[in-house]
Amino acid sequence: MQGVEVKIQSGKNWHALYVSSRQEKKVQDSLLKKGIEAYTPIQKTMRQWSDRKKMVELPLISGYVFAYISPQEQDKTIQTKGVVNFVRSEGKIAVVRDIEIERLKQLINLGYQMEAQGINNVYKQGDKIKITSGVLKNIEGFVVESKEGRFIDVLLESIGQSIRVKLPQEILIPVK
């Protein structure tokens, strides 16, 4: 058939895993050694101690690792040391959309100042907006006022998290 692209389904989806405290990198490494594609968004941040400052790498979303697995790989995944459980939604293992993982990867690669938080009150915080230019063009989120300036929350709806990114106000437009 000419002009028709057939997408082969691998049966794999991204899933979020709850992991033990401060074990995100170790869980990711263990999953990779088992042949399971895993992703932990890591960002560099400056930490200050009483005697020095140091650049450290920390997980953007504490307590979470993302795994790209088929249903047959669920047991192997959950049996990995440090994995507590799958994130669930309505009693079923939640599926994280590919676009949400891609957004996370884009945000990390761009090096924006970010912090993760639950999305309990995001809808009350401000207006829904869309980014008008740059690599994040057309991504929608919600504006939040903060002491550091204006931020956009990019929602990861399937796991109940939002990523807060500091962006210039001039590249944001309201969504009706």
Domain ranges of the chain: 1-96, 99-176
Residue 65 CB neighbour total at 10 angstroms? 27
Q: Does domain 1-96 have CATH number 3.30.70.940?
A: yes
Split at pLDDT 50, 70, 90, the class of 41 is very high
pLDDT score, position 153: 67
Q: What is the CATH number of domain 99-176?
A: 2.30.30
pLDDT at 168 over 90: no
More confident residue, 3 or 143: 143
Q: Looking at residue 83, what is its pLDDT? A: 95
What span, in angstroms and rounded, lies between the C-alpha atoms of 148 and 151? 8
CA distances 75 to 18, 36, 67, 80, 141, Å, are 15, 12, 12, 9, 35
Per-residue pLDDT reduced to its tens digit, 119-152:
433 333 567 777 776 767 777 777 665 445 556 6
Assign 156 a pLDDT band (cuts: 50, 70, 90). low
**Does residue 169 register a pLDDT over 90?**
no
Q: H or E stretch including 110?
A: helix 98-110
**Interstrand relation of 53-59 and 64-69 (parallel, antiparallel or unpaired):** unpaired
Quick check: 70 pLDDT over 90?
yes
**pLDDT tens-digit series, residues 74-114:** 999 999 999 999 998 888 999 999 988 998 898 888 776 66
Average pLDDT over residues 58-85: 94
Instruction: State pTM to two decimals.
Output: 0.67
